Amino acid sequence: MTTLTKRNRRAEAPAERWSNAEEKEEKTDGTDEEQDTDSKSLRLTLMEEILLLGLKDKEGYTSFWNDSISSGLRGCILIELALRGRIQLEPQSSRKRKLLDRKVLVKSSAPTGDVLLDEALKHIKNTEPPEDVSSWIELLTGETWNPLKLHFQMRNVRERLAKSLVEKGVLSTEKQNFLLFDMTTHPLTDSSEKQRLVQRLQDSLLERWTNDWRRMSRRMLALILLAHAADVLENTLSSLSDERYDTASTRSRSLLEADPDLESAKVTTPAEEMIWTVLAAFNRS
């Protein structure tokens, strides 16, 4: 995973205490910030948004050098499930104070209507004893030496997400020849959707910056952290002028370099806990 760097000038272009907060989150998920800027956009999952940010517009595939996007997409799945009220961390205890020590529990096994999310939810529900967030990211990615746990790997995630975006009219499907093999690619069909997504992320670090993540929409906070984890944040900011790029990079680093365990003490919902736990998992990897 790469980190945001300062540019050389144009050198290169507990469960009870959550109840009220959860109810409020469900009612306001998709805050005024996102409604104002995205009134014409599709409702995409975090996984679709991260893949869209990582895809080359004309070529229709992600960078061959990006080895972070697979695990980043699995982090998206965990946060999306938490945002939808399906999973949460086990309650904090004297023995399990740190986020990464706490196991992931199923809060609701009701189907989400999304095939990838429901597949991951089924794995989490049927696993005893429960696993922590770091373990789930590794298991869903297939990064395990335990042959008995290889069945947890979610296969063809990028292709399945791309097909979903094709169905939504954002991408198309083509075949490209790469000398020794043919590869299915998914160039952009509707560039406005990606432009709105990029603009929304940039605005959250510039015009709409609040200097307090608690005043940021949960989805936007998750999107910034996940874009970094999937190594696509740099591309998202690359179109900015030097001065605005430096400002956005500094502000994003203030989020990325925060201590997840300290920030989790300020959360009001289980979803916020999951967001910071996923960041902690990527920081440790």
Each residue's pLDDT tens digit, 212-238: 999 999 999 999 999 999 999 998 999
Q: Does the pLDDT value for residue 15 go beyond 50?
A: no
Packed helices 69-83 and 115-125: angle between N→C axes, nearest 10 degrees: 80
Q: Across residues 123-129, what is the average pLDDT?
A: 95
Where do we find the tokens 């972070």?
Answer: 68
Residues 6+ apart with CB under 8 A from 150: 142, 144
pLDDT of residue 183: 81
Phi, psi of 18 (to 5 degrees): -90, -15
Query: 168 with 140: CB under 8 angstroms?
Result: no
**pLDDT above 70 as % of the chain:** 84
- State both tokens at 146: 């335990």
**pLDDT above 90 as % of the chain:** 70
Q: How far apart are CA 126 and CA 91, in angstroms?
A: 20
Read off the pLDDT band of 50 (50, 70, 90). very high
pLDDT of residue 16: 43
Phi, psi of 62 (to 5 degrees): -85, 160
Dihedral over alpha carbons 265, 270, 272, 273 (to 10 degrees) = 50
Q: Does the pLDDT value for residue 259 go beyond 70?
A: yes
Name the least confident of 94-98, 153-157, 268-272. Answer: 94-98
Q: Across residues 6-29, what is the average pLDDT?
A: 45
Closest CA to 276 of 88, 86, 47, 5: 88
Q: What is the mean pLDDT of the chain?
A: 87
Q: Across residues 196-222, what is the average pLDDT?
A: 95
pLDDT of residue 147: 86
Each residue's pLDDT tens digit, 185-196: 999 998 999 999
What domains lie within the chain, and their CATH numbers? Answer: 46-283 (1.10.3630.10)
